[in-house]
Amino acid sequence: MADSTPSATPAHPAAAQPADRPVYVIGGGPGGLAAAHALRERGLRAVVLEKADRVGASWRRHYDRLHLHTTRRLSALPGLPMPRRFGRWVSRDDVVRYLEKYAEHHELEIVTGVEVSRVDRSPDGTGWLLHASGGRQLSGAAVVVATGHNHTPRVPDWPGRDGFTGEFLHASAYRNAKPYEGRDVLVVGVGNTGAEIAVDLVEGGAARVRLAVRTAPHIVRRSTAGWAAQYTGILVRRLPVPLVDRLARPVARLSVPDLSAHGLPRPDTGLYSRVTEGAIPVQDVGLIDAVRAGRVEIVAAVDSFDGGEVVLADGKRIEPDAVIAATGYVRALEGLVGHLGVLDGRGRPVVHGARSPKDAPGLYFQGFTNPISGMFREMALDAVKIAKAIAAHAEGRVSRLPS
C-alpha cells in the first residue's frame, strides 16, 4: 500500500535547544496521531516519533480480514470523520488509509525511522530527554507515550515448544487462511484475535480447526437488531462493576446460546469484572455458529509440546500440522520508562490519559487500556484531555506553533 503521508519522512531531527522544546509523541498509531493533533489545536508544537517508515505500522501488520469491532462513527479521531464509504465496521486497510489521511489532513509533524529507547528527566529538571536511534538526544517539555497496546508478541514458555516439528507462529504473523487450506490447525487462545482467526481458517478451507481454551470467555453479539455492543459498553462504562455484572447475565442468556455441550460453558465470573482484569468480551463474528456446527472444535489449554504432538491440560495429545498462538502481547515499556517507577507489577502504566505519574510530571500515556466502550473512541477523548493538561501545566515551556 502506498504511503500518502508526505510529512512521514525519514528525517533526522537535531537535538532541540532549551528554547525549542516540543511535546514529543512516541508512536505514530491512532493514539499518537490523535494526541499530536489535539496539541496542535492548542497551538503547541508536537513531534511524532515513529520507528517504522510509515504511520499506522501495527495496523498494517494485522490479519487480512480484521475489521473494527466498534462503529465507524464512534471510531473517528478528533477533527476528521471516517468516510461513509468505509461502512459500519471499518476494515484493516481502510483504518490504514484513514490514519494516512489523518496525518496529511492535519499536517502533523512526523519523523519516521526514529526509535526511542529511553526517556529520562532533563538535566535541569524542567522537561524530558529522549534517547533515540542514531545516538540522538531530544529535549522535550512533555512526552506522550503512545507505543501501543499490542506492541510485542507474547508467547508462553511451553515446555518442549522449541522442539515442535510442526509449524508454529504467533497470531501477529498470521495473514489469511490460504497457507492452511486442507491442513489441521490448532489456534491457542480465545480472545477476539483467536476467535476470528479460527473462523477465518474454517471459511478458508482448513481441514480441521481446533481452538484451545484455558478460561471460557464472555461472548457478545457485535450487533443485535442494529444495536452495536459498543453502545451498551458506553452506557455502562461508569456504572459499578457488580451492577454491570448482574445486568449482563440475563442479556447473555437471551442473546448467546449455551455452548456448554461444545466445550464452552458460560463463564462463572462477571463480564465487567473480567474487563477490569483486562479480558475484553469476544465479539461474535461467526464463532458461535462455527462451534455449534462442529467446524471449530473446543479443546483444553495447551500444557506442553512433545515432538510433533501438543499435550493438552486434560492429558490428551493431538498432532496438528500448525499451531497459531493467539496469546496476546506485552507492552514492552520497561526499557523505555521502567526506571521511572511509572509501571505496575504487570508492566502497565500506573496512570493514563490526562494524568501524569506523581513523580513524573509531564509524562503521559495514551492507548494502553482496552475499554468496552471502544479503544479508538477512548483514545480520541484522551487525546483532547492530554493536550489540555499539557497546555495547563507546561505553559511557557512548550514550543508554540508559528502564528
pLDDT in tens, the chain (403 residues): 444 444 444 444 544 444 579 999 999 999 999 999 999 999 999 999 999 999 999 999 999 999 999 999 999 999 999 999 999 999 999 999 999 999 999 999 999 999 999 999 999 888 999 999 999 999 999 999 999 877 789 999 999 999 999 999 999 999 999 999 999 999 999 999 999 999 999 999 999 999 999 999 999 999 988 999 999 999 998 899 999 999 999 989 999 999 999 999 999 899 999 988 878 899 999 999 999 999 999 999 999 999 999 999 999 999 999 999 999 998 899 999 999 999 999 899 999 999 999 999 999 999 998 888 999 999 999 999 999 999 998 767 888 888 7
Is 289 exposed, middle or buried (CB count within 10 Å of its CB: 0-12, 13-18, 19+)?
middle
Q: What's the pLDDT score for residue 19?
A: 52
The three cell numbers locating residue 167: 509449524
CB pairs under 8 A, 24+ apart, for 276-281?
276/241, 278/370, 279/191, 279/215, 279/217, 279/218, 280/191, 280/192, 280/370, 280/372, 281/217, 281/218, 281/219, 281/220, 281/229, 281/372
d(CA 336, CA 352): 16
Is 231 exposed, middle or buried (CB count within 10 Å of its CB: 0-12, 13-18, 19+)?
middle
Residue spans of the domains in the chain: they are 23-151+331-393, 154-325
- Tell me, rounded to whole angstroms, the distance of Cα 305 from its chain centroid: 29
d(CA 17, CA 110): 19
Domains 23-151+331-393 and 154-325 share a fold: yes
Nearest to 394 by CA among 45, 152, 95: 45
**234-239-241-245 Cα dihedral, nearest 10 degrees:** -70
The three cell numbers locating residue 144: 506522550
Q: Regarding the domain delimited by 23-151+331-393, which CATH topology (the fold level of the hierarchy) does it fall under?
A: FAD/NAD(P)-binding domain (3.50.50)
228 DSSP β-pair partners: 223
Side chain identity, residue 246: R
Cell 484455558 belongs to 214
CB 56 within 8 A of CB 99: yes
Q: What's the pLDDT score for residue 96?
A: 98
Q: What's the pLDDT score for residue 279?
A: 84
What would the 3-class secondary structure string for the chain be?
A: CCCCCCCCECCCCCCCCCCCCCEEEECCCHHHHHHHHHHHHCCECEEEEECCCCCCHHHHCCCCCCECCCCCCCCCECCECCCHHHCCCCEHHHHHHHHHHHHHHCCCEEEECCCEEEEEECCCCCCEEEEEHHHEEEEECEEEECCCCCCEECCCCCCCHHHCCCEEEEHHHCCCCHHHCCCEEEEECCCHHHHHHHHHHHHCCCCEEEEEECCCCCEEECEECCEEHHHHHHHHCCCCHHHHHHHHHHHHHHHCCCEHHHCECCCCCCHHHHHHCCCCCEEECCHHHHHHCCCEEEEECEEEEECCEEEECCCCEECCCEEEECCCEECCCHHHHHHHCCECCCCCECCCCCCCCCCCCCEEECCCCCCCCCHHHHHHHHHHHHHHHHHHHCCCCCCECCC
Cell 469484572 belongs to 273
Q: Which CATH superfamily is domain 154-325 in?
A: FAD/NAD(P)-binding domain (3.50.50.60)
pTM listed for this prediction:
0.90
Q: What's the pLDDT score for residue 292?
A: 97
d(CA 42, CA 384): 10
d(CA 195, CA 107): 38
